[in-house]
Amino acid sequence: MDRLDNTIRPYAWGSPTAIPHLLGTEPTGEPQAEMWMGAHPGAPSRTERGTLVEVIDADPQRELGERAVTKFGPRLPFLLKILAAGAPLSLQVHPDLAQAKEGYEDEERRGIPVDAPHRNYKDANHKPELICALTEFDGLCGFRHPLQAAALLDGLGVDSLKPYVDLLHAHPVEAALREVLTAVLTADPEDMAHTVTAAATACDRLGGDYAPYAGIAHHYPGDPGVIAAMLLNHVRLQPGEALFLGAGIPHAYLSGLGVEIMANSDNVLRCGLTPKHVDVPELLRIVRFEPGDPGILRPEASPDGEEVYETPIDEFRLSRYVLPEAGTVHDLTRDTPQILLCTAGTVRAGEHELAPGQSVFVPVGDKAELSGTGTVFRATVIV
């Protein structure tokens, strides 16, 4: 079992205080957006044996187990994060596995450098993800029903939004959503900036259901993503609740602190709320234009005290233990690799005492006993 020393990424949208508060450290005044736990080459966790990438590369079967290596290859298939959103993240979607492989191979054939700003596919993997709230957490997830989106836009009283309102009344609903998103993202930039400014002013005045979009517009004035965001469900998670974000589902995190886990990939296609590249044709190929409830997840408890967030993929499995009192010992030994993350209290994982924000990597089969008082998230895989 290895104690992890993890990198904090200073993305501009990060909260300057949420992660320091969790860790019990002084804020630096700079944004602290994400703390990465895992073996992603961009910022691998460090151990006394070297980086987690080096540790796994030296003996994948010993660290990950034969079944995990056979199923996912000689790499840790998930990345665990603490995410602290102080401002909205970009509105985005992720490809499925077939789309990622196809897109990656196409860009490789065309000789687009992996670090090029207009490159869409950094790897050939998909990127399903799960976010679990540690504090109240606001986000956008999946399309509203077109009639609900039409009512929201119409309520702003902005004349230049009327054509979108009319389109949203068309049938079938998937085509209506596609038409409107396409129109918003391909509109004349100057005209759209005026529309967004007028919509933002109305959102400020109206408040209520419009308040989240007023906040988004404050951070991204004139961005067409502000209008695109109004096509999506607004979700407010309470601590312990989670969202699963599968392929093709448009989403954005707006504010709050959470534990995020994802397949080990960098593939993102952006819809707006960003100065970065937006590839509209490729985006429209990936997005699933299916309205529906975003589906808030709550953990399912097992007799041994493990609370599992069920998802339909195998690259990761997230669960938590809420330990109400010292003295009880939970045996977490598994035949799969694990990362254990403390988010509250003080707990002991094997020989390591963990405070909030501290974590350990547990190689396959290593004895892993958990005790203490607090909350621990457990990340592993399904083989």
Q: Which residues are catalytic?
A: 270
Packing angle, helices 189-206 and 211-219, rounded to 10: 140
| First-last CA distance in the chain | 21
**Residue position matching structure tokens 């200073």:** 10
Distance CA 376, CA 347 (A): 8
Q: Which residues, in sequence order, are bridge partners of residue 319? A: 308, 378
**Residue position matching structure tokens 């190689």:** 363
Q: Which residues, in sequence order, are bridge partners of residue 374? A: 323, 345
**Residue position matching structure tokens 């004035």:** 221
215-223 long-range contacts, CB within 8 A, separation 24+: 215/88, 215/254, 215/255, 216/88, 216/254, 216/273, 219/87, 219/88, 219/273, 220/88, 220/272, 220/273, 220/274, 221/193, 221/196, 221/197, 222/192, 222/193, 222/196, 222/197, 223/196, 223/272, 223/273, 223/274
Name the token pair of 342: 């403390």
Distance CA 262, CA 286 (A): 18
Three-class SS of residue 54? Answer: helix
Render the burial of 42-75: b for 16+ CB within 10 Å, e for the rest.
ebbbbbeeebbbebbeeebeebbbeebbeebeeb
Ranges of H-type helices in the chain = 18-23, 52-58, 60-64, 66-72, 97-109, 146-154, 162-168, 173-186, 189-206, 211-219, 225-229, 280-286
Closest listed residue to residue 371, CA positions, set 312, 318, 330, 315: 330
Contact 270, 251 (CB under 8 A): no
Sequence-distant (≥ 6) Cβ neighbours of residue 222 within 8 angstroms:
192, 193, 196, 197
